[in-house]
């Protein structure tokens, strides 16, 4: 299966278990790997034969900057289901949601949730 990978998309959202996170907000990074047949798009150079990644970026912005989730697992699940519902040519996808600065007393680069969903 062919893949389209969108890496390092950055959004500002209000997600987290702690009230301060939902009040102040923070950055989130999204990587999205879409599994779909890209042959016809590649042969015809026709945008209608693939997914428009600018539209996907806007969909993710609406999700991440619109609604508040306590868990990034819930955010990732909502992203996956929204993309599969909106883009029927996508057979499966992998979503990475990274919270780069979780509110802990120890230093580390962040936490990432990775999930894979398919139509099967």
Q: Which residues are catalytic?
A: 99
Q: How does strand 92-99 pair with strand 26-35?
A: antiparallel
Strand extents, DSSP E, 1-120: 3-13, 26-35, 92-99, 111-118
Distance CA 76, CA 96 (A): 7
């Amino acid at each position: 299966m062919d893949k389209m990978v969108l890496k390092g998309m950055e959004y500002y959202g209000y997600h987290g278990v702690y009230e301060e996170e939902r009040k102040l907000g923070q950055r989130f990074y999204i990587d999205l790997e879409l599994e779909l047949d890209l042959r016809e798009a590649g042969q015809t150079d026709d945008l209608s034969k693939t997914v428009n990644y600018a539209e996907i970026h806007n969909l993710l912005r609406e999700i991440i900057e619109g609604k508040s989730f306590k868990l990034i697992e819930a955010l990732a699940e909502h992203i996956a289901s929204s993309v599969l519902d909106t883009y029927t040519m996508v057979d499966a996808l992998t979503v990475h949601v990274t919270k780069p600065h979780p509110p802990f007393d120890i230093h580390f680069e962040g936490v990432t949730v990775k999930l894979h969903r398919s139509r099967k």
